[in-house]
Amino acid sequence: MMVKNAPYKFSEFESLTFKYGLGDSLVNQYNSKTGMYQYVNHKDSIIRKTVKLTKDDLLILHRRAAQLGYWNFPSSIVNEEKTKTNSMHY
């Protein structure tokens, strides 16, 4: 069961870190707290820039994340199985 309303308000939102890339290599990244944006261009060079987002930009990202369900967590994060596995002690 998923929570319908986003559990985080925008006023509680501090920063966003977004990393992406091919396979295990998450070279492309953005951190809204520092404004550091890093990506690999078509010549396989790593480009580093500083991109500051406005409060309105962060609000749009927060609303879009809530719309896509990124803030939806299970209401209960426990094992729901009725059986327990007890380890044998000799």
9 part of a folded domain: no
pLDDT of the residue at 76: 63
Q: Tell me if residue 32 falls in helix, strand or coil.
A: coil
pLDDT of the residue at 62: 82
Regions of the chain short of the pLDDT cut 50: 1-4
20 part of a folded domain: yes
86 part of a folded domain: no
* Cβ neighbours of residue 53 closer than 8 Å, sequence gap 6 or more: 32, 35, 61
pTM, to two decimals: 0.60
Could you give the percent of the chain with pLDDT greater than 70? 71
7 part of a folded domain: no
What total of structural domains would you count in the chain?
A: 1
2 part of a folded domain: no
pLDDT of the residue at 4: 46
Domain housing 47: 14-68
Q: Are 32 and 58 in contact (CB under 8 A)?
A: yes
59 part of a folded domain: yes
3 part of a folded domain: no
Token pair for 79: 């094992």
